[in-house]
Copies of this chain bind each other. A is one copy, B any other.
Amino acid sequence: MQALILAGGSGTRFWPLSRRRRPKQLLPLDGEESLLRETLLRLLPLVSFEQIWVATTAALAPAVHREVPEVPATQILAEPEGRNTAPAIGWAVRSMPAAARQDLIAVLPADHRVADAPAFRAALARAAEAIAEQDRVMTLGVTPHRADTGFGYLEIEESTRAGGAHRVVRFIEKPDAAKAEEYVASGRYLWNAGIFLFRGTTLLELLARHAPDLAGGLEAIAAEPARTAELYARLPATSIDYAVMEKLTDLGTIPLACGWSDLGSWEALAEALPPDAHGNAGTGERVAIEAHDNLLFAESGTIAVLGVDGLVVVRTGDTVLVLPKARSQEVRKLIAELTLRGRHDLL
């Protein structure tokens, strides 16, 4: 099996910890290692470093290489620019040597958290078995434990087959709260975690059938590698879900229950970290008195709080962020303001 890690993200939701040149996947958010490195280490019993490929942007490629130096440099694929997941995956698979391309390829985001790595690997192994039985694309869908409106859902067929594989009936965009409640209660829906397994040649065939513009563009790049940047910029910037997955009638899924989180915000991180007796979680040196349910994240120095509840407090070498946990997504408003002020050194 080969693993293709998607590490091109440039999100701002973990500002001030995340910066343009140090996005989320390069941060040690929930432990000692960066999320990217954790993603690789989690796979190691299944694949060797020589079977790992990392797709990222040209700007991030040097940092990615430093973070996972065991991965051969030729397998760190620097996209000329970020153009969503369909071009990233298609180009990466098309770039692999024929032997790798004919192998099973697991596609994994570099910035998710998995608490139970053995359960994760077992699900991936079951997906591989399902493909051995019948060649198709498999996805791992996360068993939902709350009616989250922040994820896309996969509706699955009720019948359970051997190995726990289900057929995906349809992809559902982020639902409203009522729908999300209904989905979770029914037991027939999984969160779409963006984790896929396929034979590389199969994916290229599916691209040719369902996304001929993209497939044609990839062939043009393969024919004229010197024009990669120019041709890549013309590829349709669509997601792999939209380009391929939603159009499949035989997409299979293995339910995944492994303490998964996409760590989509400071609030999500707060939920993933172990709380103390007062509900405070975090990292670094922190002192909390008569304070509850806070995330106290000290990358540098000490955080001291007293008499505050439900806050996110982040301290980096140059910045402090304070906001209510429930408004974590609004950190983008602060970034917009700093951008207006021209404080690019802080972004």
Q: Which residues of A contact B (CB under 8 A)?
A: 16, 287, 289-290, 298, 301-308, 311, 313, 315, 317-324, 327, 330-331, 333-334, 337-338, 341, 343, 346
Contacts and interface: CB of A to CB of B under 8 A. Distances in A.
Contacts of A305: 321-323
B319 A306 contact: no
Integer count of this chain's copies in the complex:
2
Nearest to A324: B307
A260 to B, nearest CB: 28
Contacts of A303: 319-320, 322
A302 B315 CA distance: 10
B334 A318 contact: no
Given A289-B337, A333-B289, A337-B287, A323 B302 contact: no
B320 A307 contact: no
Contact of A301 (B307, B311, B319, B331): B319
Given A287-B334, A333-B289, A327 B346 contact: no
Nearest to A334: B304
Contact of A323 (B298, B308, B323): B308
B320 A306 contact: no
